[in-house]
Each structure stands twice: as C-alpha cells, then as structure tokens.
Amino acid sequence: MGQNSKIALVTGASSGIGAAYADRLAKRGHDLVLVARREDRLREVAARAKEMHGAESEIITADLATPAGMDKVAARLEQGVTGMVNNAGFGLMAPFAEQDWARLNDMIQLNVTALTRLSHAAVGPMLAAGRGTIVNIASIVAFGGGAGSAVYAATKAYVLALSNALADEVGGKGIRVQCVLPGLTETEFAETAGFSWDRFPADMRMSVDALVDAAFKGLGRGERVTIPSLGDAADYDALEDARMKLFRQGSKSAPAGRYLD
C-alpha cells in the first residue's frame, strides 16, 4: 500500500455502487482494499483510482458467499483498516416457493453472514485504534418488500437492524456506523435478480453516482441511516419514534388488556 494513513476496504468493488465508493474514497485520500470475485474488473477499478487520484490498491479476489472467501477477507480486516463498505450482495425476485434453495442460501450467506463476519473482523481493530467507519449497504425494501422479494427484503432488514444496534454499541467510541438504503439504482442488480429496469419509470431509478454522493453527504452529516431519495428526514424520525414506542411496550409482566378479554 501507499503512504496514506487512511485505508478503506470495499466489497463488491468491481462495478456499480462498490466501484463508485472506491472512486470517492480514493478521491478523499484513502488507499484501497478492493474485494470481489473478478480480478480483471478489480484491476480496472484500481487503475482508475491510481490514475485519477493517486491511490494505491490491494486486490483480494474472493467469493464472499463461501466460508473460505469470508475468512480470506476477514484476515485482512483483522490487520486494520480505517473504513469499510459492506456493499457485496445480490437479490432474487420470484415467488418464495419457486426460488431455488441453493441460490437463496447463497444470498443469505452473502447479504447476511458475510456482512456480519466482516463487520466483526473490522470492529475489533477499529475499537483498539479508537477510530473507524463502517458503511453497510441495505435497501429500501428493508422496510417491507413486496411479493417476490421475501428473502431479499429479510436480508436487508437484518442489515438495518445490525447497523442500528452496532451504532448504539460503538458510536461513542470513535466509530461511525452508517446504513445506506438505496431504492431502485441502475446497476447490474437487475440482471442477477431476474428483471428489467424498463419495468420502472425513469423517475424512480437513481444513478449510482447520485446515490453514492448522497450517501457521503449523509455520512458527513452524522446520519446513522441514509435514504438518498427521502425528501423529508422527519418521516424517518417519525418511524423511529413509533418503533421505540412499540419497543418500550414490548416487555411487561402480563399481556395487554386486549388479549385478556
């Protein structure tokens, strides 16, 4: 790596959101650790970061849906980084009963297990250093996916819940945790999920660059949860207030009266 004191690891860095994060992080003075399955694409991202911003890159080819891939990247994180972006993931869109279990399991391993494993590997050294940033990429479907996205929505709800709980735990110890909830974003996601972007009007689809730039602005403002397309932040605050109201009522010595009639 180079002489930069800031090193950021990005998963799913070979294209789309991950590649855009790599570019913005390099522009902000980070050297990079780029993770994905395709080495050729990672080398292209690394070359652009070097040419445009002078950033050095370490490339790790790994399939994060496998234990070996998770362990490989976790070992690098245990050496210490100043920031990481858990971006790797994919979705499947089809009725639950019709989806192939092996593919569903791969999605759970990548979207949930790998993200958790890598966050765990990163946070210890960050706590020891007293600084660090973890960015987890979820999805707006974390608030409730429709028919055909049951498991994908569940994985992203997990990412949101983990991010919020982790922020509570380490937020006062020099570590920032941000969860980004994209809506429809024009990436290769559609090909993997099995649908066409043409199903959706253009005013519902955000570009990758716009999404990542908004996410960085949210991070700079100290947002724990960033929803780039949300016009009024008070709407999310109201949701959180309602959630906490329910939480506080969730543990009592007797069922509520309406269950005792």
CA separation for the pair 225, 182 (Å, rounded): 11
Instruction: Name the token pair of 52.
Output: 């445009």
Q: 7-43: string of b/e by CB count within 10 Å (b at 16+)?
A: bbbbbbbbbbbbbbbbbbbbeeebbbbbbbeeeebbe
CA distance 57 to 19: 12
Q: Which of 152, 158, 236, 259 is catalytic?
A: 152
Please, what sign has the CA dihedral across residues 237, 225, 180, 109?
A: negative
158 has catalytic annotation: no
At 117, which amino acid appears? R
Nearest to 147 by CA among 105, 99, 190: 99
* Rg from Cα positions in the chain: 19
| Phi/psi of residue 12, nearest 5 degrees | 60, 40
Beta strands in the chain (DSSP E): 7-11, 31-36, 57-61, 83-86, 132-137, 175-180, 225-226
Q: State the catalytic residues.
A: 152
